Amino acid sequence: GAQESLDAHKDTYIITLNNRKGFIRCALKSGADLVPVFSFGENNIFYQMKNPRGSRLRWLQEKLKSITGVAPPIFYGRGILQYTWGYMPFREQIVTVVGKPIHVDRNENPTEEEVDLLHEKYMSSLRQLFEDHKTLY
């Protein structure tokens, strides 16, 4: 999402998930299983200008996000010619790992407690998936 785009920097993995529970509610209401998935290397295909929290650039990006709903990261890649500057992605490997599905029983009216419980289970599975594979990629 918009927030994640501001935290996408080379060799870093910051996931904004603590307050994202809409997909959990959808899974509960439809009975769709959740599958944890993580991609290593996706933040390496573009470089983003440094924008640490508290910086003027980050403040401006956050302000624009609050007004428009879009967070404009300032990024660059390679040019059409191999070693020039541009907006083509760098040629970097992206490896996606897929975890075991989490079974979800259908519940058309889930309580907040049920949403929170499944959300924690999903986050725990995603964290474990990352820990199991981080040294490989």
Q: Which long-range contacts (CB under 8 A, 24 or more apart) does 97-100 make?
A: 97/37, 97/38, 97/39, 97/40, 97/129, 97/132, 97/133, 98/35, 98/36, 98/37, 99/35, 99/36, 99/37, 99/38, 99/125, 99/126, 99/128, 99/129, 100/35, 100/36, 100/125
pTM metric for this prediction: 0.85
List, for residues 22-55, the tens digit of each pLDDT value: 999 999 999 999 999 999 999 999 999 999 999 9
- How confident is the prediction for the chain on average, in pLDDT? 94
